[in-house]
Amino acid sequence: MSKIMTVGYVQSALQTLLFASDNLEETQKRTASGLEVASAADNAGYWSAATNMTSDQSVLGSIGDALNLGASKLDTAYGAVTSSISILDEITSQLVTAYEEGTDRDALNARIGSLKENLSSVLQAATFSGDNWLYNSDEVLGASKSIPTAFQRSVSGAVSLSYVSVETADTTLIDSANANRGLLTASIDANTLNSDGTSTPRNYYLLDVDSTVATTGTQIAVSDATSSSELDDMIVVIGHLTDKLNQLASNLGTVSSRVDQQTGFVKSLQDVLDKGVGRLVDADMEEESTKLAAYQTQQSLSVQLLSLLNSHQQSSRVLFS
């Protein structure tokens, strides 16, 4: 009878030991990885949802990088445009000075030429990551400059991107391939800005960068032969260019603000997704630590019980032998 009872206790202790060992192994895995759902076998629904959310996080990370790159390009273009406005203001001052009798127009023209060279250098240097929004040298002018700002995932899982765009025709200030496409290299009819009552065009352009396709008209410059009416036209044209650059700076600032807002939203959305993935698959480390201690204790007690039962059996054999 004692032998039967001992065998029963041994079986029970063995079952408890196996149960504790299995649970201890699983708990140790969760504690080591920090994951309650490490694979689809753990919970297919949670694992699938977490995998999709992790994929979305990856896409958002790429969009965040693109937004940061786009913001840098916008800042570069904006800085160059504001510098250009200051240079145009200085050119206007030189043209106004040319009205005065006895002025050394050769010196004024040299100063204007220096300012135009500086203007061209500023715009040509407005490059970030190999991309210049203000200076074009390509034969074919692209339609727009785009920055990805968001993405949408359809029911089928397909991903599509949303963009904020700036028309290239509005941002190109110098075009060395076709002067007529650049704001500062193209001809502007002063008669449309300050009509003399006739339909005869009076075309002026500011910069000559030896474009492959040249423009027509008179380059803005002064000499002793420059008349007051020509100075009037030049000042009107420079004023028009300044207005256009102010408008461009305003547009770039608006786009920059949108990009900054979207960058903040993307970061916030990444945090939300990160928390969502954690809720689905992360293990409760406090709970797992408690379970780990409990299963270790249960395993230890089972081993001790088996040891006692083995000792009891040996003692019984000696007693009844």
Where are the strands (E) in the chain, listed by range? 127-128, 131-132, 135-136, 144-153, 159-167, 174-175, 188-189, 203-205, 218-219
Burial 176-186 (b: 16+ CB within 10 A, else e): bbbbebbbbbb
Closest by Cα among 277, 286, 284, 291 to 28:
291
Query: What CATH code would you report for 56-282?
Result: 1.20.1330.10
pLDDT at 247: 97
pLDDT at 1: 45
Q: Are 291 and 23 in contact (CB under 8 A)?
A: yes
pLDDT at 84: 97
Closest by Cα among 68, 42, 23, 86 to 282:
42
pLDDT at 154: 73
pLDDT at 4: 45
- Give the start-to-end residue ranges of the domains of the chain: 56-282
Mean pLDDT, contiguous 10-residue spans, the chain (321 residues): 51 60 59 60 73 80 90 95 97 95 93 97 94 94 88 75 90 96 96 90 96 95 94 96 97 93 87 76 59 62 61 55 51
Task: Label residue 133 exposed, middle or buried (CB < 10 Å: 0-12, 13-18, 19+).
Answer: buried
State how far the alpha carbon of 166 is from the alpha carbons of 154, 178, 262, 266, 295, in Å.
Answer: 27, 20, 16, 21, 63
